[in-house]
Structures are given as structure tokens and as C-alpha cells.
Structure 1
Amino acid sequence: MAEAKKFDWISLLVGFVLIIGGIFSLSNPLATFLTLAIMLGIVVLVRGIMLIVAYFKLENRTGAKVFFALILGILLAITGVIFLFRPLFAANIFAFVIAIWFIVDAINNLINADRLKPAGKGIYFLSIVFNVLVLFGGIILVLHPLIAGLSVAVIIGITLLVFGVNHIVLAFMGKESA
């Protein structure tokens, strides 16, 4: 039986939506990152509410007092509300966490760089150079935290563009039907 290929309108539509999203992300990286911060706020708020509800369900069924879940739920809910109403604050916190991670990891790798000496002088030297760059990158992120957000927004924009083009190409290849 011969197979016919049909034009995939859904892939074309998805491709265009992804490309529009990519263009928006690249043209407005701060807005993209703030949108991600708001989405994170929603997720954290919902998770906090879920923990609070789970605490009361557990207490009603078993009488157990699982205060940790309640406290964590309350803290998450408060954090979610703060992130929703102060997305720039959420973006800064995210950037500071990344910066601290980079700094601590780079210092740890520099302290332990001598373990790479047996692999050769080139690997040892390259490790030191890369870890010094990561250390400087972490320090820069502490001083200018929105750089992390802008970088994430650019990566998201490029990814959306690539996926969009991919969907458009797939649309013209058609979907196979019997």
C-alpha cells in the first residue's frame, strides 16, 4: 500500500509560535527572565500550599504532628508570594545562588587541582585557567546578578528559534498516513 505524505499544519503553527517566542526572548531578555521568575513563584507557591494541605490531611487521618511539612509549606508559600510580587528579587536570588555555587566550586577545584597533575601539565594548567575564569564569572555575577538572567533568556531564545525552525521543516516534510 502506498504511503501518502500530508502537510503538517500543526507543526507549522507550533514552529511559528516557537519562533515568535524566540524572537521575543532575544529582544526582551529581561522580560523573559522576569517571566521565568514569576513562573518559579507560582510553582513555589503551589508547592507550599500542597505541603500545608498535606499536613492537615495527615494530621486529620493519623493525628501525627508533622510540623516540618507545615513549616516548609508556609515558608514556600511566603517565598512564592514574594517571587510573584517581586520577580526582580527572585531573579537576583537565583543569580546569587548561581554565583555562590560558581565561586565555591571554583575555589574547591583550585584547591584540589594538584590531583590533576598525573594527567599531564596541559590538563592541570587548563583546569587552573578554567577554574579561575569560573571564579571571576562568579564574582561578576555577585556584582551584576542580572547577567545570569540575561544569559538564560538568550539561551532560551536561541533554543526556541532552533526548535521553531525544526518544526517548520518537519511540517514541510509532512506527516505520513496510510
Structure 2
Amino acid sequence: MSNERNGFDWSSFLLGILFIFASLASFQDPAGNLVAIVVVFGMFAIVKGIFELFLRKKVREFTGFSATMPIVVGIFDIIVGIFLLFNISAGVVALPFVFAIWFLVDSLVGLFSSTALKSISTGYYWFSIIIDILGVIVGFMLLVNPVSSALTLSFLVGFYFMMFGITEIIYAFR
């Protein structure tokens, strides 16, 4: 087993660029784009879920570590995305709670499965740990005060998309 990667990971790079564009769009009009956030969030949840399912295979190839949590997170992300796309009005009401739970689940899974990242790159491991700890803190804040999170949802979505996008771009160059 080798820790070296060959080439450039275009799928991670393109996913990172898409998430950064989505983050910039969410910063534009925080009050007027809640419905758009529901639609975009639903689409990206599905894309991210599919990506998580494929990520499991790559983690096993690079580390020999067979993780089941990416499957759970991937399926959860796909279910959340389908719910949001087919129930937009319910999505607007539920989005602060869904987003808080998603933040928590994703960040906790990232923390618990971060040991696999140590063998890939120490810098990427610590970056992931810091982002996941921030995600847990923000997730609890959102869950405790959903009214406040609804008012600041555009910025929070933008922050999450920006962090995920940066993470994916860094991974593409690793």
C-alpha cells in the first residue's frame, strides 16, 4: 500500500468549485433567497451524498481502511436532498432544523472517521479536524436557536459550502 497519489483529482476540484460558487450565491440576498437555498441545498445534498458513496471506495484504495460511515452519511444526504426538492414549502420551515442536524451528523462523522486521513496527509487531517469541530459547534448553535438560524441561514449555508469547497480543492491538489 502506498500513500502517494498519482495525478490531479478533477472530480474533487470541480465539486469544490461548485460549492464555492454556491456559497457566493448564498451571500447575495439573504432575505430573498430562502426558497432558492432549499432547492440548491436539496440538489447539493444529493450530489454530496453520491460523492460520499464514491468517497468510501477511494478511502479504501488509499488507506486499506474500509469505512461504513460514508455510506450512512451518503444515504442520509440523498434522503435530505430528495425531501427538500419535493417539499419546498415544508423545506423552508424545516431547513433550519435539517441544516443543524446535517451539520452535526456530517461533522461528527468527520471527527470519528478522521483517523483514516492521518495516513493520507497530516495537514489534511488537522484541517479536517478543525473544520469538523467548528461544524459541531455551529450545528449545536443552530439546533438551540432555530429562529436565529433561519434569519442567518444564507450566511451559514454559504459558510458550509465555502468550507466544503475549499476542502475539496485542497484534496484535489494533495
TM range (shorter): 0.3 to 0.5
TM-score of the pair, normalised by structure 1: 0.37
- Larger radius of gyration between Structure 1 and Structure 2: 1
